Chains A and B, each alone.
Chain A
Amino acid sequence: MQPILSVHNLNKYYGNQVGCKNMNLTLYPGEVVGVVGESGSGKTTFINSISGNLIPDSGKILIETGNETIDFLEISESLKRLLIRTELAFVHQNPRDGLRLDVSAGGNISERLMSIGQRNYGNIRQTIFKWLDKVEIDKSRVDDFPRTFSGGMLQRLQIAKNLVTSPKIIFMDEPTGGLDVSVQAKILDLLRKLVRELNLSVVIVSHDLAVIRLLADKIIVMKNGEAVESGLCDQVLDDPQHSYTQLLVSSVLQV
């Protein structure tokens, strides 16, 4: 099987400051890769660099679309943006960054559909209801504005908005950050369900080891912009080799 996304020797500097250094990643279809590390370790820089939000200084990003392999850093701006709104999806930590707050919930979900050329209101409406159902938002809220939604609902709406065109690769930057634990659990449940049901390929960034353990198959541990350890999720978390990973695992609060 070919990886759907592979990243080789990716570097991103902010002036002399290291953003992330010498990063590698292989993501197979249906796989979830978690990126963990403390604040400032370069997780967000890394995910932004591989999803098209930032332009890395050097490295290679290959995306397999099924019939061809695309060199993500070499393609034209127009093809890149087309990929970003069809094949890729980005779930922001703050759902307000990923949603249009002055457009109704349904309108938010429909944007990607219409940008790929759907022009039938009835069909679009059907798809919206289907996705509201999937992310467990009540259908009666379809015409309400996102600003009337709670934090957890906003995050679920953002997920629906991103997944509506069935993208191949989904990037998530702390999707449960800033939510209380019970809502967090609900979102995680939903994500796990969607990942299994739709066979999604996901790169997820989190500082929360529990989130990663629940969702991810593989894990990359970052510190000071570099990957210090990587491997199967359970293996790394149960038997951490690097001192930083050991510290990270032992710092998890036990209730």
Chain B
Amino acid sequence: MNNVLKFKNKKNTVAAQDEIYNFAYLDENTKRMIRRALIKALCIPGYQVPFSSREMPMPYGWGTGGVQVTSSCLTTDDVIKVIDQGADDTTNAVSIRNFFKKTANIKTTEKTSQASIIQTRHRIPEEKLKEKQILVYQVPIPEPLAFLEPRYQETKKMHALSEYGIMHVKLYEDITKNGHIETAYAYPVKTNDRYIMDPSPIPKFDNPKMNNNPAIQLFGAGREQRIYAIPPYTEVTSLDFEDYPFDPSKAPHKCSICGSNESFLDEIITDDDGNRSFICSDTNYCNQRMENN
């Protein structure tokens, strides 16, 4: 009750971080536990480290894993950017940004180049990331073998012994059914020539960006209680066949706002007659191109 009163009073007078929360919401012991998992994950690229995921003030599937990872990495000097499917202004992005504004009183930005931590759902920003930036992915299902081998014990063994033949069975089935590899998102990758990893449901268009990226890439799965990571400058290759090589395809259109040929596009249906247009999914990239022109 006291806390609630304190909370109400604060809200009217102080815009700063609410004192009823520890910095960035999580308590220090939890953050320490998560940082340990993160360090282990960085040491073994692509390996899924179990961690004891906390109950967060948002439902599972809304980025609880990513939020916990971000919270554990956050310092008072950080500038945070949150994107959801590439956009800064969708519900998930706005609410997570506000969450950190409120609990950590931290600077936020929409500019990729100015952010020190970027939490993302299902995209990698178009703008090249730099050293000292951290990209935090929200992951729904961390186990790339889950749909092929439902037994968790067995998938653990398969990872430990690099028994990855079954992963190619999935791609084989794709080609057989469709004449090409149909998997368009969550396209499996091999990290540092060892562990097969689910890159979270990013479009396969983004897969090449993970390879040799100067930024730290962290993956948090809250419900599944797993953390994994790609350290800077790590080799990440997308699985394929010799005669069906990996193809990071995109819609064969230009962005109808900024005219970009290179960025990943969202298809927007514009009226009831089925007319459609394509726009950049990365809103910041699109806006900056418009400003520069």
What are the residues of chain A within 8 A of B242 when measuring CB–CB? 119-121
- Bound: A124/B173 CA distance, A: 12
Q: Is the Cβ of A77 less than 8 Å from the Cβ of B172? A: no
Q: Is the Cβ of B165 less than 8 Å from the Cβ of A116? A: yes
What are the residues of chain A within 8 A of B172 when measuring CB–CB? 106-107, 110, 114, 121, 124
Q: Is A122 an interface residue (CB 8 A)?
A: yes
Q: Encode contact with A along B215-249: 1 for CB under 8 Å, 0 otherwise.
A: 00000000000000000000000001111100000
Q: Is the Cβ of B169 less than 8 Å from the Cβ of A114? A: yes
What are the residues of chain B within 8 A of A77 when measuring CB–CB? 157, 161
Q: Encode contact with A along B143-157: 1 for CB under 8 Å, 0 otherwise.
A: 000000000000001
- Bound: A106/B174 CA distance, A: 12
Partner of A121, one of B165, B166, B241: B241
**For residues 55 through 104 of chain B, which have their beta carbon under 8 Å from a beta carbon of chain A?**
none
Q: Is A115 an interface residue (CB 8 A)?
A: yes
Q: Is B168 an interface residue (CB 8 A)?
A: yes
Q: Is the Cβ of A115 less than 8 Å from the Cβ of B176? A: no
Q: Is the Cβ of B243 less than 8 Å from the Cβ of A111? A: no
Q: Is the Cβ of B169 less than 8 Å from the Cβ of A111? A: yes
Partner of B244, one of A81, A104, A111, A121: A121
Interface of A is mostly: helix
- Bound: A77/B163 CA distance, A: 12
Query: Closest residue of chain B to A143, judged by CB?
Result: B176
**For residues 164 through 182 of chain B, which have their beta carbon under 8 Å from a beta carbon of chain A?**
164-166, 168-169, 172-173, 175-177
Partner of A115, one of B160, B164, B175: B164
- Bound: A77/B161 CA distance, A: 8
What are the residues of chain B within 8 A of A143 when measuring CB–CB? 176-177
**For residues 117 through 173 of chain A, which have their beta carbon under 8 Å from a beta carbon of chain B?**
119-122, 124, 142-143
From known contacts A119-B168, A121-B241, infer whether A104 and B161 are also in contact, taking CB-CB under 8 Å: no
Closest-CB distance, B152 to chain A (whole angstroms): 17
What are the residues of chain B within 8 A of A112 when measuring CB–CB? 165
Q: Is the Cβ of A120 less than 8 Å from the Cβ of B176? A: no
Q: Is A228 an interface residue (CB 8 A)?
A: no
What are the residues of chain A within 8 A of B163 when measuring CB–CB? 81, 85, 115
Query: Closest residue of chain B to A80, judged by CB?
Result: B161
Q: How many residues of B contact A (CB 8 A)?
A: 19
Partner of A103, one of B161, B164, B169, B175: B169
Partner of A104, one of B160, B164, B165, B176: B176
- Bound: A78/B157 CA distance, A: 9
Query: Closest residue of chain A to B167, judged by CB?
Result: A114
Q: Is the Cβ of A114 less than 8 Å from the Cβ of B165? A: yes
Q: Is the Cβ of B173 less than 8 Å from the Cβ of A103? A: yes
- Bound: A81/B177 CA distance, A: 30
- Bound: A124/B165 CA distance, A: 13
Among A100, A106, A119, A124: residue with most chain B CB under 10 A:
A119
Closest-CB distance, A191 to chain B (whole angstroms): 25
Q: Is the Cβ of B166 less than 8 Å from the Cβ of A115? A: yes
Query: Closest residue of chain A to B162, judged by CB?
Result: A78
Q: Is the Cβ of B165 less than 8 Å from the Cβ of A115? A: yes
- Bound: A143/B173 CA distance, A: 8
Partner of A114, one of B160, B161, B168, B175: B168
- Bound: A116/B166 CA distance, A: 11
Partner of A122, one of B157, B160, B164, B243: B243
Q: Is the Cβ of A110 less than 8 Å from the Cβ of B243? A: no
Query: Closest residue of chain A to B149, judged by CB?
Result: A100
Closest-CB distance, A36 to chain B (whole angstroms): 33
- Bound: A114/B164 CA distance, A: 8
What are the residues of chain A within 8 A of B161 when measuring CB–CB? 77-78, 81-82
From known contacts A77-B161, A78-B161, infer whether A121 and B175 are also in contact, taking CB-CB under 8 Å: yes
Closest-CB distance, B277 to chain A (whole angstroms): 36
Query: Closest residue of chain A to B164, judged by CB?
Result: A115
What are the residues of chain B within 8 A of A120 when measuring CB–CB? 241-243
Query: Closest residue of chain B to A122, judged by CB?
Result: B243
Closest-CB distance, A240 to chain B (whole angstroms): 44
Query: Closest residue of chain A to B160, judged by CB?
Result: A78
- Bound: A82/B240 CA distance, A: 22
**For residues 207 through 224 of chain A, which have their beta carbon under 8 Å from a beta carbon of chain B?**
none
- Bound: A115/B172 CA distance, A: 13
What are the residues of chain B within 8 A of A78 when measuring CB–CB? 160-161
Closest 9 CB pairs of A and B: A115-B165, A114-B168, A114-B165, A121-B241, A78-B161, A120-B242, A107-B173, A107-B169, A122-B243
Instruction: List residues of A whose CB falls within 8 A of some B CB.
Output: 77-78, 81-82, 85, 100, 103-104, 106-107, 110-116, 119-122, 124, 142-143
Given contacts A85-B163, A114-B165, A121-B242, 14 further A-B contacts (CB under 8 A): A78-B161, A81-B161, A85-B165, A103-B169, A104-B176, A106-B176, A110-B169, A111-B165, A112-B165, A114-B168, A115-B164, A115-B166, A119-B240, A122-B243
Chain A to chain B contacts (Cβ below 8 Å), 9 pairs: A81-B161, A82-B161, A100-B169, A103-B173, A107-B173, A115-B166, A121-B244, A124-B172, A143-B176
